[in-house]
Amino acid sequence: MGDQSEYGHCEHGDYLLSEGCPFCLAEAEYRNERQAEEVKPASEQKEDWGCSTSEPDNAPPVPDNIFDQIPEKPEILPMEDEPEVKLSFSEAISTALAEYAPEKNIIIYRMKEEIGKALEYAKNREILSGDDVVSATNDLVLLTGLAHDIEGERTYYTKPLNDHLKTINAFFKEFSTYIAEADSITRDKIRAYDKQIKAQIAEAERIEEQRLQLAQDEMILQGEVITSLEPVEKPEPVPNHVRATMGTATKRVNWKWEVEDIKAVPADYLIPDAVKIGKVVRASAGAITIPGIRIYPEDNLTITRNKGGS
């Protein structure tokens, strides 16, 4: 980074002339490797018949097409000594991810080098003049491009995984939703039954208390008790700990809350709506006044790349 004259430009953007475009270099290296792996035409191939540099008279003819040497239906012999190895789902996924690991991508590796150099240069940079600001602006444009490119590489690897993950989660969400609904219905019915039993017990106790009071009044007025003081039959309460053949259920109290009067809630329990405040502050360009909040400007830079990259 630095003087604009030190840079060249290609379809991938700006690059240092002393080092070349990492993307073009990576593509060229890839093409060279592919060309080196290509098989030469059969007409250029010669079979090795020993130390002699010339072919003997009885050398077999070279076919016009290398594929002529391959039989239409080659015989496939079974491999008896090598049993099939079945990978688990986790192992298969790990193997596939390892094969397409981003750290193996030469383009990303070159980008990592460029980003490391950019960071080191930024740490050592000094801005002491207007020309330095211009130079730094060019670097910010390059950094913006690098950020865009590396984000593209990241989404190249993560989007298929995230899309597949969303599909899997959506598939299983139906099951978990049904389970949660069945669980909630069952718990609500237990609570409703517990509430009903408690209401019946409370009513029986109220009747017993009423009879006792009536008996006391009879004793005062008549000198004898006419009202029956037999206990009222009550249902068995739901125990706090239920033991079943497959497990247990233990009752416990969970304390919850709800707002009745927001104005009466102490400030310690209130959180400012940062999204709403930021929206109105930006919309008013700082002209609005909000009690208890300081509104102030802060300079920022918006980086825009010139058309054509120059």
Secondary structure of 195-244 as H, E, C letters:
HHHHHHHHHHHHHHHHHHHHHHHHHHHHCCCCCCCCCCCCCCCCCCEEEC
CA 290 vs. chain centroid, Å, equals: 37
pTM: 0.53
Most distant CA pair in the chain, distance: 145
In a structure prediction context, what are the per-residue pLDDT tens digits for the chain, which is 310 residues long?
A: 445 556 676 766 666 777 777 767 777 776 776 666 554 554 444 444 344 444 445 545 544 543 444 445 555 555 566 666 778 888 888 888 888 888 888 888 888 999 999 999 999 999 999 999 999 999 999 999 999 999 999 999 999 999 999 999 999 999 999 999 999 999 999 999 999 999 999 999 999 898 888 888 878 888 787 777 888 899 999 999 999 999 999 999 899 999 999 999 999 999 999 999 999 999 999 899 999 999 999 998 888 888 865 5
